[in-house]
Chains A and B, each alone.
Chain A
Amino acid sequence: QKEVEQDPGPLSVPEGAIVSLNCTYSNSAFQYFMWYRQYSRKGPELLMYTYSSGNKEDGRFTAQVDKSSKYISLFIRDSQPSDSATYLCAMSASSGNTGKLIFGQGTTLQVKP
């Protein structure tokens, strides 16, 4: 069993839809959770960073962490064609020098105009 599971998609939605992207994990020690967005042939860019459980909102993006269920989500409101990309979840157990992240496989999202 992989430490982090993420549905690879592809996920196709119409413009303006609410998108829900999810990851599940098995390691209860994970405390730091991130979402990255990766456009085709580009490096991943950090979208959201959360510590422990709870919600965090940034514009059209909301990240949720449910540690009891070992489940994290990224919601995108009013989705735009420019949101079409691969979304990677990442997490780690420790803060410190190494900061090694465990990544999900990534979910490919297509927002159709």
Chain B
Amino acid sequence: SQTIHQWPATLVQPVGSPLSLECTVEGTSNPNLYWYRQAAGRGLQLLFYSVGIGQISSEVPQNLSASRPQDRQFILSSKKLLLSDSGFYLCAWSLFEDTQYFGPGTRLTVL
């Protein structure tokens, strides 16, 4: 069966510091991978998606970036965090159908 991991689970970072969130998927090959952000009381905002190694599509222009160095690894990064980057970051995977499966999430607080 497939499993998706995210770490860290919780992160508190000062404004202007860098960020690296990691997501890995087990039990499947060549998944589509997604990064979402969920702000308090709001819906899911798609940030990036990837259909293969090195292939990244950005949905929202901002100071975040994503990379996919391996088939089942997806990384979300920032060089300098803003207060507005606080939120709940979710990684998801899917195969060719539209159903997406989510990871446990990373709660990021920028102070």
Identify the A interface with B (CB < 8 A).
8, 32, 34, 36, 41-46, 49, 88, 90, 92, 94-101, 103-106
Cα distance A97–B32 when bound, in Å?
Answer: 7
- Interface size of B by CB at 8 A reads 24
B98–A95 CB distance below 8 A: yes
Ordered nearest first, which 6 A-B pairs have the shortest CB separation? A43-B102, A99-B98, A105-B43, A32-B98, A103-B44, A92-B98
> Main SS of the interface on chain A?
loop
Contacts of B99 in A (CB 8 A): 32, 34, 46, 49, 99
Seen from chain B, the residues whose Cβ lies within 8 Å of a Cβ on chain A are 6, 32, 41-44, 46, 49, 51, 57, 88, 90, 94, 96-105, 107
Instruction: Please count the residue pairs between chain A and chain B whose beta carbons lie under 8 angstroms apart in the complex.
Output: 60
CA distance A46 to B90 in the complex (A): 14
In the assembled complex, the CB of A109 is this many whole angstroms from the nearest CB of chain B, namely 15
Q: A95-B98, A97-B32 are in contact. Are A105 and B42 (CB under 8 A)?
A: yes
